[in-house]
Amino acid sequence: MSDLLRIAIVGFGEIACRQHVPAIAKTSGAALVAVVDPVKTPPGLPYFRDLQELLRDGPEIDAIALCTPPQLRQALAAAALAAGKHVLLEKPPGSTLSELAPLIAAAHEANRTLFATWHSRYAPAIGPARKLLASRTIKKVTIIWKEDVRVWHPGQTWIFEAGGFGVFDPGINALSILTEILPQQVFVRSAVLDFPANREGPIAADIELSDEDGLPIRAEFDFRQTGPPSWDVVCETEAGPVTLSKGGRQLRDGNRLVVDATDDEYPALYRRFVALTSEGKSDVDLAPLRLVADSFMLGRRRLVEAFED
């Protein structure tokens, strides 16, 4: 392989255009060399209609970044690993938990990297929040993760289809932060999921969680918020609240602003991907996906009014 990690993006939707392309361009030791998408044709790059066409006729590549809807990722990741390529999985890593175990085994067998990414964990305030909370006694956690689906996911009809996660597509970002900053494993205790009468995925969810010591945790997810989004995690401690906001870009300790930084999540993801491939390691943490699966398993389904995009 080349010293440069040559990457092809598979699935050239909004997240690939807005985040992955500029992040790869900023990453030393990585280069975007091809794109696969059945519809979009990016300028200035070799373009292929499907993965098999890329593998057969495309330029030499070392890695695949899978940015398709989650329902498609398992088969594409399996094919890429079988072809000897490293694989980066956009979040969520798949539609089910069971489909990830064979991919982990295949990556190990092929001596290739499998990286299940949780981009919100790489937000600039997450590391400082974890360190701050390690010295505190946490008494309660409240997550408010609400946004306007029409603004943040325009035209993405797959998100409300079976396996598309609905409001858990952004909500899993909050759960990835939660499982990163708390010292103990977290469990879902109960959930109420709001399903529009004309959709297969939930538009809102209220979830009660706790750790092994009974720490009360509540998460509120909603796709129906208008105006600015709310991406907040508030940890009540014996010394006052520790608040993560703006999706993990801002941290306050009480009233004191500790971190207020710009978005560097995806460049950090790709720096991690380059490091993993050079070290011959994988990184597949499924804790956030388990919490989503448990929410669907335990959740009480509540029908709400039809939703039209």
Active site residues: 91
- In which residue are the tokens 């870009």 written? 249
SS3 string, the chain, reads CCCCEEEEEECCCHHHHHHHHHHHHHCCCEEEEEEECCCCCCCCCCEECCHHHHHHHCCCCCEEEECCCHHHHHHHHHHHHHCCCEEEECCCCCCCCCCHHHHHHHHHHHCCCEEECCHHHHCCCHHHHHHHHHCCCEEEEEEEEECEHHHHCCCCHHHHCCCCCCCHHHHHHHHHHHHHHCCCCEEEEEEEEEEECCCCCCCEEEEEEEECCCCCEEEEEECECCCCCEEEEEEEECCEEEEEECCCCEEEECCEEEEECCCCHHHHHHHHHHHHHHHCCCECCCHHHHHHHHHHHHCEEEEECCCCC
Pull the structure tokens for residue 53: 């066409």
Distance between CA atoms of residues 241 and 178, nearest Å: 15
Spatial distance between the Cα atoms of 97 and 187, rounded to a whole number of angstroms:
16
